[in-house]
């Protein structure tokens, strides 16, 4: 996989770059977290400084192959222009007349942004021929392809995978950094190495648990997924989330960790309530703290408790390498944010490498007021990070390795 520095003189060359600008917007189309845009700046600035003519591809939301103004990249173009201190020319379409005219108008050091690639039905198509045809149109806009959207490298999509096979290519600075850090987590972590996994569904994390149990010293489980582990050990979990199909698998992981001399930490206490309304950001009834082994019938575990916070924070702060993916509770509701806040704070105190694994975890640390530089690295790709740590081949990376002409 080539790096940006391996490409030689880029002056006057058209560089087609895939970024991940899938940022959250409020009801007025204001960007509420521009972390993914900022993450692309090192590569974009390097290309501009080299005199390249930069053509950016990106997506926003899920327009499902149809033009929908709700998912226009106009707010992204405006914010990117502010951050670059230069105009970003936004095409009205993806590969149509507007895109062609905008690309042709570029001078050395200029930046253009094509409209949302997911407006094109073939972008996410399972039909390889359809994707190839679209990728040919993308490739006509560039002399070189740069992959810098780490959040999409696990997708076999036209702007990620197929176009990389049609042009000389390289990884951008962001993708190179993400891959380097994730390789360190799987191949050569400094020890003690602690992995913290949360989120709602245990099924989403089974493969990563399976792989990381081999390399981590301590595995910490929180969030809704913890209750399947607790139930597997015979504890009462009330009305908490449960994945009955994976009870035995969770019990097997507990036994594997024990047999290998590793720690697998589960909540010792939890915050419970009768329920919650996520959209309204409210809890039904009072929030109580109870032992994790004895959650009352009708009550739902919605966050780890204060004793668990201390237990987890102590394990995290004693580590030299920490990877965290998934909140400890429903952090978007203030009463249920304490566990996630405690984990985030502990990561800022690690004397070593602390990695926040994208997705909800990245959103949580920013919502809690932490600066990005309080952590060793905040990944821009939750799904991509997890699939890499599972040991899967990521199409967007394999395409770079296959075609380095």
- Helices 173-187 and 35-49 pack at an angle, to 10 degrees, of 120
Residue ranges of the binding site: 20-22, 36, 59-62, 118, 155, 205, 301, 332, 358-361
Residues tagged in the binding site annotation for (2R)-3-phosphoglycerate: 36, 118, 155
So what's the pLDDT on residue 80?
A: 98
CA neighbor of 15 nearest in space, from 48, 53, 44, 50: 53
Strands 269-273 and 300-304 come out as antiparallel
Could you read off the pLDDT of 74-113 as tens digits, one per residue? 999 999 999 999 999 999 999 999 999 999 999 999 999 9
> Measured in whole angstroms, how far is the alpha carbon of residue 63 from the centre of its chain?
20
Domains and CATH numbers, the chain: 4-175+396-403 (3.40.50.1260), 191-351 (3.40.50.1260)
Alpha-carbon Rg of the chain, whole angstroms? Answer: 22
* Residues forming a β-bridge with 377: 355
Rounded-to-integer distance, Cα 174 and Cα 181, Å: 11
d(CA 42, CA 52): 14
Indicate the SS3 state at residue 403: coil
Residue 23 CA to residue 231 CA, distance in Å, equals 37
Angle at 7 between CA 17 and CA 45, to 5 degrees: 50
Q: What pLDDT score does 358 carry?
A: 77
- The predicted structure's pLDDT at residue 404: 58
Beta carbons of 210 and 182 less than 8 angstroms apart: no
The SS3 call for residue 42 is helix
Point out the residues of the chain with pLDDT beneath 50: 405
Cα of 86 vs its chain's centroid, Å = 28
DSSP state of 7: G
Rounded to 10 degrees, the C-alpha dihedral 202/358/394/94 comes to 120
Task: Indicate which residues carry an active-site annotation.
Answer: 36, 201, 359, 383
What stretch of H or E contains 138? helix 128-139
Return binding residues for ATP. Answer: 205, 301, 332, 358-361
Dihedral of CA 110/114/116/121: which sign?
A: negative
Known binding-site residues for substrate equal: 20-22, 36, 59-62, 118, 155
3-state helix vs strand vs coil in the chain, percent to 5:
40, 20, 40
pTM: 0.90
What is the three-class DSSP state of 382? helix
pLDDT at 106: 98
């Amino acid at each position: 996989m080539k790096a940006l520095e391996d490409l030689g003189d880029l002056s006057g060359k058209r560089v087609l770059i895939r970024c991940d600008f899938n940022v959250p917007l409020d009801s007025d189309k204001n960007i509420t977290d521009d972390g993914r845009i900022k993450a692309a700046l090192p590569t974009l600035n390097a290309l501009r400084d080299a005199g390249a003519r930069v053509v950016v591809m990106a997506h926003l939301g899920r327009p499902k192959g149809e033009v929908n103004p709700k998912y226009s990249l106009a707010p992204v173009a405006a914010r990117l222009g502010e951050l670059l201190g230069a105009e970003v020319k936004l095409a009205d379409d993806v590969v149509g007349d507007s895109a062609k005219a905008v690309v042709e108008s570029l001078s050395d050091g200029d930046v253009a942004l094509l409209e949302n690639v997911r407006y094109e039905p073939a972008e996410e198509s399972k039909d390889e021929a359809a994707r190839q045809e679209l990728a040919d149109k993308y490739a006509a806009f560039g002399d070189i392809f740069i992959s810098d959207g780490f959040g999409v490298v696990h997708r076999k999509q036209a702007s990620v995978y197929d176009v990389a096979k049609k042009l000389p290519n390289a990884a951008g600075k962001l993708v190179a950094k993400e891959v380097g850090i994730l390789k360190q987590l799987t191949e050569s972590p400094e020890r003690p190495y602690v992995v913290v996994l949360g989120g709602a569904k245990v099924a989403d994390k089974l493969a990563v648990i399976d792989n990381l149990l081999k390399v981590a010293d301590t595995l910490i489980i929180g969030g809704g997924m913890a209750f399947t582990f607790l139930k597997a050990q015979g504890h009462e979990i009330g009305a908490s989330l449960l994945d009955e199909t994976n009870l035995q698998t969770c019990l097997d992981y507990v036994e594997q960790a024990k047999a290998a001399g590793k720690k697998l930490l589960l909540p010792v206490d939890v915050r419970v309530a009768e329920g919650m309304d996520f959209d309204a950001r409210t809890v039904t009834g009072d929030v109580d703290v109870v032992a994790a082994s004895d959650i009352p019938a009708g009550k739902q575990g919605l966050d780890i408790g204060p004793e668990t916070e201390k237990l987890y924070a102590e394990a995290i702060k004693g580590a030299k390498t920490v990877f965290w993916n998934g909140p400890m509770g429903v952090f978007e509701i203030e009463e249920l944010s304490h566990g996630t806040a405690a984990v985030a704070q502990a990561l800022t105190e690690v004397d070593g490498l602390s990695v926040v694994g994208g997705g909800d975890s990245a959103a949580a640390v920013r919502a809690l007021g932490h600066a990005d530089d309080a952590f060793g690295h905040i990944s821009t790709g939750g799904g991509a990070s997890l699939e890499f740590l599972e040991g899967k081949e990521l199409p967007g990376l394999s395409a770079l390795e296959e075609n380095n002409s």
